[in-house]
Structure 1
């Protein structure tokens, strides 16, 4: 719900719990200040101190008022009301803002009103839709997933003709119905260990009955709840339980066997080797090349992501093409809003290019990218090039959870590129992908990108012009410091600052790639030294021409007043895990503990440099901008 903007003599701030401003589009608490503000509550000193803190952004001595309203700022400077901050839910140790979840559910065009509640240890969404509409729950959740972290996605959705009201006319939450029990084929545990694992899953995930064939992720587990499950399993079985085993063997019977170092028979899950075989119908043989001349129409996937936002800017600035942005959304208007909200978040100004941005609502994980057959064909006819950057990125989840978007989506992009003419494809992979056969033990995300590369290579063998780009550790904008808050490298650094501990590591070089430099190199093609129409599928690993040492990172941190005690890597890992298993641990600390099991080269950034690279990399000044940005936005704690 829009509530407009403050009057000329008033100020409105959207702040996090540390009183730091949050980026546009990010929910925060509304604080107001200005000439109309009262001095406080008469005769209530404690209440005044709580609700009228000092205004750190206004003139000296002024105060601001903490409203308790959850809002977010739109890209035009207005404010949207999401709910109240003084009504929170807690599910399996995670605090939830109901207003934020309800706002995300209402983002679907057919949802008029939404309410969430916890029932049977599951987050349930109750919806009232427009008259006559019966939207698919998966479609509603697809919209919500683009606005919420995984642990805030409802497990069930219930459509109601009307919400139950109490005698005062307000919502009666206690009268909201319980969801129907989830129907699963139940196979009873066969061993004591299987029973112990099933019992832990049941208690920690709030599932009434868990069988030997049930999967941790399928019954509601995620990377955050995995920390608690690990601790409960270790306590129940009296065995060390590495997180890696839980992610590698999420099925009850497989995990029980793996914990005893027994041979695990994995009969479920997709066959990645079969996935790496491209559909024979996808071929560019006998197709005409794209029309000659400058690019007129380009498809970009992932425009609502970190690198994608900067790729969009580069394409708009360096070409005259219209950029079609495939975006997961209910309609074109919602897709456009997501594109602009993402640009606003990173300080990217798209104002001069409105008429060249074409929002295409779709879904990588669906056949034909979620488009109708007619729309799919029409889009194929228009395109001169495709920049395939979108992916489900999660360094913790297994291959199967990311397969539809990362593997199936790449196949559908190649189908699009070979539907009408030979449309060149640039594929954004990762430096963590190895050359040659796929080794055991790689994280699921890296596996999906390896399979994606095999599909791209197969398309090149069938006559399609392609280019594979393998960037390493992508960091913030070199000019503004703007960066993502879900970055794995910085999440680990944040954990060190929160704990006041740092593992003793030999000094090394971190190959940071500023996102603006990566986008410029990919779009300009200067880093590849080959013509754009080349069908050569040899991957090009993108490295910076200079690196930054761990010693320089440490010195910059200490110069700001942070204190870091050096401990052994084992002691640091133990301290991190202990802190993450506390009931009140914040989500980022839990994620850092989980990430420590899959700390690949892409996450650590420990790599070499390329003196001939088009990307200069990071120096001390840019590193300082990163830290300034993260402290200013509240991602990093103050010193």
Structure 2
């Protein structure tokens, strides 16, 4: 059956095969964590499309910034159903440059980006740093209710309409978006369908990222087109343990899977004999190798390694393609042995093809990439004369096909040069110029190299001029415009080499190690590439043309024959880049025989990092930033996988990116082990250090009864939004809001967007909200001396609510914001004129076991910190002690301690990222709730904000603390009863049974409690209790709020109990916002 668009195709599948489960996601690469049927996918796509249409995104470009998972598939089709043009991309990692993403946005003029709720706040924070990205409207699609699809309007879309833009790894200043239409896609899908001989009984396993055209086509669109199921895992999970890929093929009896050449090598080098013994690869009929040059040595190695476990050599199917032709240009015949020829090297260097009888040192093995299919045509053309090459001659690969894309987005000159080539002798065309060199032999395409200087490593394209620019900026001793980046083959893999001139003035004092380290670190951070060799050259010696252009080819030749004028050099290693795990067994056994102490774990990390980098372990400083060691993503993820095996615990593949130094990573690993509990036994008083200059001194406190200017931190948070509204309504003051942003306009937009998200925004607020561009974690709040002093003189009162809230992070992650940020706020209060500080703390400061079974009054001293387990609680305790220390030095302060903050009591608006929201949703979805002897202390946000603003305006409040707890808390059993009263089927389980069910269910990032799983399962103390078990009511304190209630007695500010009416309001909001999609029986 013929279709003109992908949306027509999906609609057909949804109508006729609605219950067929086609997409399955493996969390951690092993555990099924979710699936999608055709009907579920279409319903989600329509709902997302309706949301996009409400943003006027039809015909516009829309960024896709998803983590690996099923939501990205729905987001892609949501764009198509909206008539928008999708732009698959990768969410930036922490500390990763935003330059590529900014270049894409600048070129495409995208106004909307789709993502998930867990990524939303992170992306908002990162985008605020960049004026261009700050304009993007971020939309979390996992919270969109499926019934919104009823509002979807079918757009007019034909086969000529663009489906998506695939941005190539072009020069960062001038990225190129390949325009791919529905017609291009459908033609290329039919080629793959016929070449692969796909049927509904086929099954593919993929880990390729959907941000790249190969992953998107093979893992998302081809299964839809050919109607077969696909099993998906994250690329990080594959890199962490390549065995997972092969095990998934075994488990699901997959018939095909595509991967770049390096992945087949990884599978050989990074699997053990024990792991391989568990495999059965006999179902694997089509092992496509593409996206980078295919090596004969890799094919031989993989067959030799995995043939005993069912893999057959004829399953290998090397292929060739490029984004400008959707994906596939040539593919081999199914079940045909790969064709490999020995070619004379000398002839090849002269662009001639001479096939040798046998293999020798003078020959080179070249693997066929298959043949053309359907009406697609491949020509070999002389790139200079633009005429067809004769037989047995190497030339540029040209392609003519309905798969050829429409050109480059908004770049007519580049489009004409690449997509509109014509033969000079006959005028036949147009053709796509690939920029790759090759030849045809017996109808088979052999790719020999690149016409351009493009570097392809691990399936990704890198332009040398980008890398060269990064290098020359990395150290002041390097001569600008006098470097060359190129690749060489080392042990069957492409590796990056840098040659760079040194300035003549720096030759005598040259520190080779320092310069090399700067180069390697810069290249890793900007391009995620490991450098194989760095050659520092004498001034004026790098090969150049007569017009002063760098001759990269001559540099490469000089590197290979040692003819360059080198003044300093560094090589990664001469040994294998991927050593066999068996070679490490004896060293690993040494570690396994030792206990897992701080010293042992740290030594293990040093050994593994030095092994990956091929450097002396003594050269590694555990207090140096991990980024300085230039580990690439493959190496970092490999280490986390080996760490899992050794410690017997699960870790995120991104573990090494989450900690700044080896020392801090070691501390995390030790504190996280079940046998230790370092943080809970620390003396937190040692952390309470307040700069002695923060004091009243000889000044008098002159309080302003009606402040004209109020300074607020935490303005983009949940409580912060309601405090802004309350302060604007109850005072005439201007509100100066600390916000991280590139400029005042984007900063104000962030604040407005936050207020809008909680249904609080009014246009008349705008003139009284003044963004202060800074950073709570930085000295002087990230402001310069002059600006800090100016702000200190302008404001009359401070409300400090900014805090990092997380139930998993260690204390060190909280300290810069929660502790040091509080010190800087107190510093601001003490400068120029003394200003009162209204500090928003938490009842979590009483987490210490010393308060167990006691009633804690507002007037009680904050004396105990022993037995505190959560990093958040520890940081709030230390911060509050700083505030008390400032109070003792004469500064006017007031402390407010809220419990869990719930949604607005009238509108139900709530921050659905909150742990209680996540708990309620999970309990409803799992159909169970834990039978906990534990009170649930929830105060609505309107009560908390109104109480804080009222109390802060009473002179008698200064110096006091107030407990904003709910005077009528409920327990979890009562919450379960209330939910059941609304028709939800919820079983009451013991905590142990509920925890087991939770661990079995919460394996997908899409599950609301996924980010908090460590909070529920980590065990502490010698009794090995979870936090929830520690907090059982029988062992916990009671928070008294009698003094607070007395202070509010003559107002209408009342905290409502968590009863049926209030819960009904919250559940209504959950449904209205799309947070909760499970329908009750009522």
Per the normalisation by structure 2, the TM-score is 0.42
Contact map agreement 2:1005 2:1011 (CA 8 A) in 1 = no
| 1:289 Cα offset (Å) | 2.9
How many residue pairs get matched? 531
Structure with the bigger percentage of helix: 2
Does 1:160 pair with 2:172?
yes
Report the secondary structure of 1:330's partner residue: coil
Whole-angstrom distance in 1 between the partners of 2:911 and 2:47: 28
Correspondence for 2:1056? 617
Out of 111, 119, 129, the residue aligned to residue 143 of structure 1 is: 129
C-alpha displacement of 1:121: 13
Structure 1 alignment gaps of length 5 or more:
1-39, 52-62, 101-113, 132-136, 151-156, 221-228
- Cα distance, 1:175 vs structure 2: 2.6
Measure the CA separation in 2 of the matches of 1:149 and 1:200. 42
- Is the contact made by 2:902 and 2:939 (CA closer than 8 Å) also made in structure 1? yes
1:543 alignment partner in structure 2 = 965
After the TM superposition, which of the residue ranges 448-457 and 345-354 deviates more from structure 2? 345-354
Identify the match of residue 531 of structure 1 among 956, 975, 982: 956
Task: Give 2:528's aligned residue.
Answer: 179
1:302-360 deviation digits (Å, cap 9, x = unpaired): 11100000011111111111111111111111111111111111111332322211111
Distance 1:236 1:71, change over 3 A: farther
1:560 to 974, 982, 987: 982
**Relative contact order (C-alpha < 8 Å, sep 6+): which is higher?**
1
Is 1:251 equivalent to 2:665 in the alignment?
yes
2:314 maps to which residue?
none
**Is the 8 Å Cα contact of residues 474 and 514 (structure 1) preserved in structure 2?**
yes
1:313 corresponds to: 725
Question: What secondary structure does 1:191 align onto?
Answer: helix
**Is this contact kept in 1: 2:1002–2:1009, CA < 8 A?**
yes
Larger deviation, residues 440-449 vs 308-317: 440-449
User: Does the CA-based 8 Å contact 1:303-1:325 persist in structure 2?
Assistant: yes
Task: Provide the residue aligned with 1:628 in structure 2.
Answer: 1068
CA pair 99-323 structure 1, distance change in 2 beyond 3 A = farther
Which residue of the other structure, out of 177, 188, 191, is the alignment partner of 2:591?
191
Greater shift, 541-550 or 458-467, is seen at 541-550
Contact 2:170-2:462 at 8 Å conserved across structures = no
1:50-69 CA-to-partner distances (Å, cap 9, x unmatched) read 99xxxxxxxxxxx9993976
1:223-268 CA distance string (max 9 Å, x none): xxxxxx9999777556899xxxx9999734773697484797x9xx
Equivalent residue number for residue 1009 of structure 2: 589
Specify the alignment match of 2:111 in structure 1.
none
Deviation at 1:294, TM superposition (A): 1.4
> How far 1:394 moved relative to its partner?
1.1
Q: Is the counterpart of residue 436 in structure 1 residue 863 in structure 2?
A: yes
Q: What is the alpha-carbon distance in structure 2 between the residues aligned to residue 431 and residue 41 of structure 1?
A: 55
| Whole-angstrom distance in 2 between the partners of 1:200 and 1:564 | 46
**Which structure has the bigger radius of gyration?**
2
Gaps of 5+ in 2: 1-6, 19-42, 77-86, 107-122, 141-168, 179-323, 325-404, 410-433, 435-458, 464-526, 533-586, 631-638, 847-861, 1019-1025, 1049-1053
Contact 1:128 1:159 in 2 (8 A): no
Distance 1:352 1:141, change over 3 A: closer
Match of 1:299 in 2: 711
Map residues 465-476 of structure 1 onto 2, 5 A cutoff.
Answer: 465-476=892-903
**Contact 1:488 1:603 (C-alpha < 8 Å) held by counterparts:** no
* Deviation for aligned residue 1:369: 0.8
- For residue 486 of structure 2, what is the aligned residue in structure 1? none
Q: CA deviation at 1:571?
A: 1.5
2:745 is equivalent to residue 459 of structure 1: no
The partner residue of 2:818 within 396, 406, 409 is 406
Deviates more, 1:420-429 or 1:171-180: 171-180
Equivalent-residue separation in structure 2 for 1:128 and 1:42 (angstroms): 33
User: Which residue of structure 2 aligns with residue 514 of structure 1?
Assistant: 940
Out of 790, 794, 805, which is 1:393 matched to? 805
Contact 1:396 1:595 in 2 (8 A): yes
Relative distance call for 1:280 and 1:337 in structure 2 (3 A) is same
**Residue pair 2:896, 2:962 contacting (<8 A) in 1 also:** yes
Equivalence map 1:310-389=2 (5 Å): 310-389=722-801
1:189-268 equivalent positions in 2, closer than 5 A: 191-192=591-592, 237=647, 251-252=665-666, 255=669, 259=673, 261=675
Local SS of the residue matching 2:876: helix
Q: Secondary structure at the match of 1:523?
A: helix
593-602 or 565-574, which moves further after superposition? 593-602
Q: 1:378 to 1:315 in 2, by over 3 A?
A: same
Task: Give distance in 2, aligned partners of 1:293 and 1:118.
Answer: 47
The change in CA–CA distance for 1:79 and 1:337 in structure 2 (over 3 A counts) is farther
The Cα shift of 1:80 comes to: 10
Q: CA shift at 1:118, angstroms? A: 8.4
| Residue in structure 2 matched with residue 504 of structure 1 by the alignment | 931
Normalising by structure 1, what TM-score?
0.68
1:75-90 counterparts in 2 under 5 A?
84=62, 90=67
Measure the CA separation in 2 of the matches of 1:409 and 1:589.
29
CA distance in 2, matches of 1:547, 1:64: 38
Deviations 1:368-393 (A, max 9, x none): 11112221111111111000001111
| Preserved contact between residue 504 and residue 569 of structure 1 (Cα < 8 Å) | yes
How many Å apart are 1:83 and its aligned residue? 5.1
SS in 2 for 1:143: coil
The DSSP-based 3-state class of the residue aligned with 1:427 is strand
Alignment match, 1:29: none
Query: Contact 1:275/1:407 (CA < 8 Å) preserved in 2?
Result: no
Cα RMSD for the two superposed structures: 5.2
